[in-house]
């Protein structure tokens, strides 16, 4: 017997009913109907459950419906909106149709395991369950909605045998060169983040742009922070390989523009394109690694991204400083990206496996399903907010109309974004750009906060340590870059150590608590340094800080990928990348503002007659001749004031370390990445 249910919550369902349904007695039907009423008071849902639920399976269907609705924070007996009810029911029909639930309990996560609905077009072909394992074709036509992949019970251990895991088939030398090639883009992005740290004075002199010096370092991070959520959604819609190659191409174009820049405006445009493409590369690396590794080995490979990021970060100032004093010139600090990209290009095209999140869906249909309103609001809110923090007190006074306008614009856009995402305006539940549902997960919210704090703890020392040695010890750009090695070396060791042990033991909470404590100790020690502090002491302090940050800063990527379904991993990666880059961007902007404003105020009090442009040149490092022209007494006072302002920036990392400890105490004491006993 075949039943047809029409227009149930906007859906049409055609399915095969069990062969014994016609033979059921009237009393059996009444019993099942009464059971449906008891289990669910919603008349429409009760009617649907009675019709599509196989005999003896009503309790299981209801239990799974409750689990699915709870992820929205809504009690199943409460009145739900039509899209939420549809999402829950469509997912259950798909599970029954694919044989995921037959009245028994699955292995692994059991009845808490929810299969993410397909992202295909509105008309989605699925299979329905027929008696004696006979399968017939059914079609559901509905609004294209979905539910979050945060479907596992967070109080239980996750299993490495959960759906979506697989055995990696690419091995040997081919796998090695694939990993090498995609990690090279992480290296280049990190290199570009810090390569300007030591060549800013040279660029300022050649391009005559002292008033816009803050744009050189801030533009890349502003563009990256504004677009990583966007890239997360793009990688969730389009094929990962070609999207990643597009990001690499954008990054290389931006590098070429920076290298050829003849004025500061061209440099700013190039840095913005680098940030846009680099953010996509970073999300792409995480997505490709997630798509081609098992859940157990993933922490090791995520740790390797930290290794390459650390190498790029520490080599950035060194490479930039080396080029600035060589005959090649500072422009090759950007052209070097083109060389590395050219070497890896054949590997990108011919060796990286294809990974399509939505096979069979046309490109135009995928493009239509992007959240363009959310994209515009996200980019505008992040850009205006970060620009206000970056330029306040440096290029413009904090009370200036420009800064106030940027802050107000950012606040208004964030409010509009929140309303648009929560109430699903000009988008759908599935397509909205910001993963609002992640904030209902204690684990995701915790690692978001800790990853943002980790980004702050990494970037503040990377910029402040070279400045300290340039002013306190009169180091060159190259020498001050080398001084970063103790911090970065220990940071990288911590990242690798965390990745290796996390995949073995799975318990992640203690790493954050211990890491935050080390960060507070190291930052407090750096806050106490003076111009007379020994080099060895500074090395030890920075090593403590690097170790503390290293043992937790990258683990958020592995954890987030372990608790979501495979098809929304790119969204989770974009979410955590947003935390890391936003934390770094905001902290670096505040640190620069603190350093420049405190130094400027101190120097004006020491040298009240000095011209403003000479004071600004001295702070930027391009006016060292002016400092040397002062008397010994004044030189000491000026340099001590600059070093004091430098150490004040570590208040930010002290606060960030405290945030990590506090948030970690609220994390679940659970184990990931390990098979259940």
Provide φ and ψ at 671, rounded to 5°.
-115, 135
- What's the confidence (pLDDT) of residue 540? 97
- What's the confidence (pLDDT) of residue 146? 37
Residue 473 has pLDDT above 50, yes or no: yes
Q: Which alpha helices (DSSP H) does 77-131 contain, by range?
A: 82-97
- What's the confidence (pLDDT) of residue 148? 43
Q: How far apart are CA 311 and CA 553, in angstroms?
A: 15
Which has more pLDDT, 366 or 148? 366
CATH 3.40.50.920 fits 172-370+451-664, yes or no: no
- What's the confidence (pLDDT) of residue 95? 53
Whole-number percent of the chain with pLDDT over 70: 73
Report which DSSP code applies to 396. B
- Reading the block at residue 11, the tokens are 């859906």
Which has more pLDDT, 28 or 256? 256
C-beta atoms surrounding 197 within 10 Å:
24
CATH 1.20.1250.20 residue ranges of the chain are: 172-370+451-664
- What's the confidence (pLDDT) of residue 32? 46
Confidence band for 553, pLDDT divided at 50, 70 and 90 = very high
Whole-number percent of the chain with pLDDT over 90: 33
- Per DSSP, the three-state class of 2 is strand
How confident is the model over 224-241, as a mean pLDDT?
Answer: 89
Residue 37 has pLDDT above 60, yes or no: no
* Residue matched to tokens 């590098």: 255
- Per DSSP, the three-state class of 246 is helix
- What's the confidence (pLDDT) of residue 571? 86
Residue 377 has pLDDT above 50, yes or no: yes
Of 526, 468, 499, nearest to 652 by C-alpha is 526
- What's the confidence (pLDDT) of residue 84? 55
- What's the confidence (pLDDT) of residue 244? 96
Confidence band for 665, pLDDT divided at 50, 70 and 90 = very high
Order of strands across the sheet that contains 11-16:
2-8, 11-16, 135-141, 123-129
Q: Which of 88-102, 315-329, 558-572 has the lowest mean pLDDT?
A: 88-102
Residue 36 has pLDDT above 70, yes or no: no
Q: Which residues of 385-405 are buried (b: 16+ CB within 10 A; e: fewer)?
A: bbbbbbbbbbbeeeeeeebee
Contacts of 81 (CB under 8 A, 6+ apart): none
Residue 48 has pLDDT above 80, yes or no: no
Q: How far apart are CA 435 and CA 449, in angstroms?
A: 15
CB 372 within 8 A of CB 425: no
- What's the confidence (pLDDT) of residue 292? 87
How confident is the model over 621-646, as a mean pLDDT?
Answer: 79
Identify the helix (H) or strand (E) that includes residue 5. Answer: strand 2-8
Identify the helix (H) or strand (E) that includes residue 16. Answer: strand 11-16
- Reading the block at residue 178, the tokens are 């694939």
Angstrom distances, CA of residue 31 to CA of 2, 19, 39, 49: 21, 19, 12, 13
Q: Which of 142-146, 162-166, 314-318 has the lowest mean pLDDT?
A: 142-146
Of 162, 167, 166, 165, nearest to 107 by C-alpha is 162
335: left (phi over 0), alpha (psi -120 to 50) or beta: alpha
Report which DSSP code applies to 393. T
- What's the confidence (pLDDT) of residue 325? 77
Residue 635 has pLDDT above 80, yes or no: yes
Q: What's the chain's average pLDDT?
A: 77
Contacts of 133 (CB under 8 A, 6+ apart): none
What is the chain's Cα-based Rg?
A: 28
Residue 421 has pLDDT above 70, yes or no: yes
How confident is the model over 304-330, as a mean pLDDT?
Answer: 81
CB 494 within 8 A of CB 547: yes
Q: Which of 124-133, 255-264, 589-598 has the lowest mean pLDDT?
A: 124-133
Most confident of 124-133, 586-595, 620-629: 586-595
Of 389, 498, 392, nearest to 451 by C-alpha is 498
Contacts of 132 (CB under 8 A, 6+ apart): 19
Residue 674 has pLDDT above 70, yes or no: no
Identify the helix (H) or strand (E) that includes residue 591. Answer: helix 569-606
Confidence band for 126, pLDDT divided at 50, 70 and 90 = very low
Residue 123 has pLDDT above 50, yes or no: no
Residue 201 has pLDDT above 90, yes or no: no
- Per DSSP, the three-state class of 102 is coil
- Reading the block at residue 577, the tokens are 């990348």
Confidence band for 624, pLDDT divided at 50, 70 and 90 = low
Residue 99 has pLDDT above 50, yes or no: no
Residue 249 has pLDDT above 90, yes or no: yes
- Reading the block at residue 390, the tokens are 């970056």
- What's the confidence (pLDDT) of residue 500? 86
Residue 297 has pLDDT above 90, yes or no: no
Residue 132 has pLDDT above 50, yes or no: no
Of 461, 170, 285, nearest to 469 by C-alpha is 461
Confidence band for 209, pLDDT divided at 50, 70 and 90 = confident
How far is C-alpha 368 from the geometric centre of its chain's CA atoms? Answer: 24
Report which DSSP code applies to 211. G
Identify the helix (H) or strand (E) that includes residue 614. Answer: helix 612-620
């Amino acid at each position: 017997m075949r039943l047809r249910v029409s227009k149930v919550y906007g859906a049409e369902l055609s399915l095969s009913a069990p062969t014994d349904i016609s033979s059921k007695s009237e009393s059996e039907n009444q019993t099942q109907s009464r059971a449906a009423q008891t289990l669910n008071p919603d008349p429409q849902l009760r009617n649907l459950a009675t019709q599509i639920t196989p005999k003896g399976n009503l309790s299981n269907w209801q239990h799974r419906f409750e689990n699915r609705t709870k992820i929205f924070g809504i009690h199943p007996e409460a009145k739900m909106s039509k899209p939420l009810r549809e999402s829950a029911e469509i997912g259950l029909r798909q599970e029954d149709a694919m044989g995921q639930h037959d009245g028994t309990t699955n292995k692994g996560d059991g009845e808490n395991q929810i299969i993410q609905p397909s992202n295909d077009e509105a008309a989605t072909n699925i299979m329905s369950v027929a008696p004696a394992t006979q399968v017939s074709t059914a079609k559901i036509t509905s609004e294209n909605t979905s539910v979050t992949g945060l479907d596992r019970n967070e109080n239980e251990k996750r299993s490495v045998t959960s759906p979506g895991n697989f055995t990696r088939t690419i091995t040997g030398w081919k796998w090695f060169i694939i990993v090498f090639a995609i990690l090279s883009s992480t290296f280049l992005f990190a290199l570009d983040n810090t390569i300007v740290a030591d060549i800013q004075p040279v660029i300022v002199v050649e391009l005559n742009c002292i008033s816009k010096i803050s744009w050189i370092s801030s533009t890349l991070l502003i563009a990256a922070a504004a677009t990583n959520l966007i890239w997360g959604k793009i990688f969730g819609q389009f094929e990962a390989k070609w999207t990643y190659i597009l990001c690499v191409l954008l990054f290389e174009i931006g590098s070429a523009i920076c290298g050829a820049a003849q004025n500061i405006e061209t440099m700013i445009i190039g840095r913005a394109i680098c940030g846009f493409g680099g953010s996509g590369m970073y999300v792409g690396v995480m997505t490709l690694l997630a798509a081609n590794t098992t859940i157990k080995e993933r922490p090791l490979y995520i740790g390797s991204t930290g290794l390459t990021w650390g190498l790029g970060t520490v080599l950035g100032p060194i490479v930039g400083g080396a080029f600035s004093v060589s005959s090649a010139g500072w422009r090759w600090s950007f052209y070097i990206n083109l060389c590395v990209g050219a070497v890896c290009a054949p590997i990108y095209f011919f060796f990286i496996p294809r990974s399509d999140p939505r096979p069979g869906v046309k490109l135009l249909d995928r493009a239509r399903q992007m959240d363009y309103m959310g994209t515009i609001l996200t980019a505008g809110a992040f850009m205006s907010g970060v620009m206000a923090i970056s330029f306040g007190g440096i290029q413009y006074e904090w009370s200036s109309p420009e800064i106030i306008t940027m802050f107000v614009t950012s606040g208004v856009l964030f409010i509009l974004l929140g309303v648009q995402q929560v109430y699903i305006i000009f988008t759908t539940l599935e397509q909205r750009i910001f993963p609002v549902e992640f904030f209902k997960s204690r684990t995701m919210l915790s690692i978001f906060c800790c990853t943002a704090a980790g980004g702050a703890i990494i970037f503040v020392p990377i910029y402040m340590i070279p400045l300290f040695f340039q002013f306190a010890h009169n180091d060159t750009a190259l020498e001050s870059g080398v001084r970063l090695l103790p911090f970065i070396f220990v940071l990288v060791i911590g990242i690798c150590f965390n990745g290796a042990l996390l995949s073995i033991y799975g318990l992640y909470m203690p790493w954050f608590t211990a890491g935050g404590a080390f960060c507070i100790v190291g930052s407090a020690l750096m806050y106490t340094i003076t111009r007379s502090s020994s080099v060895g002491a500074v090395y030890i302090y920075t090593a403590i800080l690097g170790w503390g940050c290293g043992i937790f800063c990258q683990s958020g990527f592995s954890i987030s990928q372990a608790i979501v379904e495979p098809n929304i991993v790119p969204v989770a990666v974009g979410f955590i990348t947003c935390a890391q880059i936003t934390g770094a961007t905001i902290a670096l902007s505040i640190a620069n503002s603190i350093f420049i404003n405190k130094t400027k105020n101190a120097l004006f009090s020491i040298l009240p007659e000095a011209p403003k442009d000479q004071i600004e040149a001295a702070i930027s490092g391009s006016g060292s001749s002016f400092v040397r022209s002062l008397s010994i007494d004044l030189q000491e006072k000026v340099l001590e004031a600059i070093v004091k302002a430098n150490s004040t920036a570590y208040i930010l990392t002290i606060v960030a370390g405290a945030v990590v400890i506090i948030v970690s105490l609220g994390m679940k004491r659970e184990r990931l990445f390990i098979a259940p006993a």
